[in-house]
Amino acid sequence: MKAAVVEFPGSNCDHDAFEWASRLFHIPTELVWHTETHLKGADLVILPGGFSYGDYLRCGAMAARAPVMDAVIEHAKSGGLVIGICNGFQILCEVGLLPGALLRNQGLAFLCQDVYLRCETSKSPFSRHVGKGTVLRLPIAHHDGNYFTDPKTLKRLQREERILFRYVNPNGDVNEAWNVNGSLDAIAGVLSEGRNVLGMMPHPERASEAVLGNEDGAAILRSALKTLEAAHA
């Protein structure tokens, strides 16, 4: 079991993601620079948050064309696990591994706060051991997290249970007042068709230790790890 955290110029959660995997879960983890062309044998690839290439052109647009992304696409197409967090989610949408796009937040403000998420399906490696209906509290920090896709794709995501997380109130109910960035259908995280690629705007890696006041984020990586270990057993 190995993990890789891809670093782009402007990534700023790369070391958070590295600590998340390596120190908290004891997964041998490598940092992989964006100009590299292989992922050092990783089973799990994390695209971290930040402002890759200064958000030039569109958030994630330049990173999606970086040399390392061919290896990430190949890893994803062969069923390998990929988690894109925040800017990582934007990159996965830009490169076409996930449907949709992340628009400017509806209220135009950069949002830096905790949000509540409801896990909408246990049918993915990232949520099998989290459980449908579980409410997590996680931090967000983004300017462009307003999920958008066309009506046909939205229907397909709903039908195929590929919406993994939705913004909810603390009781776990979808409520527009708690859909802080105005995302379509309150979508906070989506799965690829193969269910092995996850993109999400909130930051589980920043909230996975008691010392940080919140351990809710650990559930996602724990689930992915257990799934991978079961597959390797």
Partner 1 sequence: MKARVHVFLKDGVFDPQGKAVSQALQGLGFSEVHSVRQGKFFDIDTGTVPGEEQEGRLEDYCRKLLANPVIESFSVEVVEP
Positions that interact with partner 1 (CB under 8 A): 57-58, 61, 65, 93-94, 99-101, 103-108, 146, 148-150, 182
Tell me how far, at minimum, the Cβ of 130 lies from partner 1, in Å: 28
Catalytic residue chosen out of the listed positions 13, 59, 86, 119: 86
For partner 1, which is the closer residue by CB, 35 or 106?
106
Distance, CA of 169 to CA of 2 (rounded, Å): 35
For partner 1, which is the closer residue by CB, 148 or 178?
148
Tell me how far, at minimum, the Cβ of 150 lies from partner 1, in Å: 7
Distance, CA of 66 to CA of 40 (rounded, Å): 17
For partner 1, which is the closer residue by CB, 106 or 158?
106
* 203 catalytically annotated: yes
* 232 catalytically annotated: no
Contacts of 21 (CB under 8 A, 6+ apart): 3, 5, 27, 29, 44, 46, 221
- If we measure between CA atoms, which residue out of 204, 203, 165, 197 comes closest to residue 25? 204
Catalytic residue chosen out of the listed positions 7, 94, 120, 205: 205
Q: What is the DSSP letter of 98?
A: S
- Residues linked to residue 214 through DSSP beta bridges, in sequence order: 209
- If we measure between CA atoms, which residue out of 125, 116, 214 comes closest to residue 165? 116
Tell me how far, at minimum, the Cβ of 107 lies from partner 1, in Å: 7
For partner 1, which is the closer residue by CB, 127 or 179?
179
Other Cβ atoms within 10 Å of 211 Cβ, number = 6
* 193 catalytically annotated: no
Tell me how far, at minimum, the Cβ of 106 lies from partner 1, in Å: 6
Concatenated DSSP letters for 109-169? S-EEEEEEEEE--S-STTTTTT-TT-EEEEEEEES--EEE--HHHHHHHHHTT-EEEEEE-
Other Cβ atoms within 10 Å of 177 Cβ, number = 7
Tell me how far, at minimum, the Cβ of 7 lies from partner 1, in Å: 22
Six token digits for residue 6 = 């891809």
**Backbone phi, then psi, for 136, in 5-degree steps?**
-115, 145
Supply the residues annotated as catalytic.
86, 203, 205
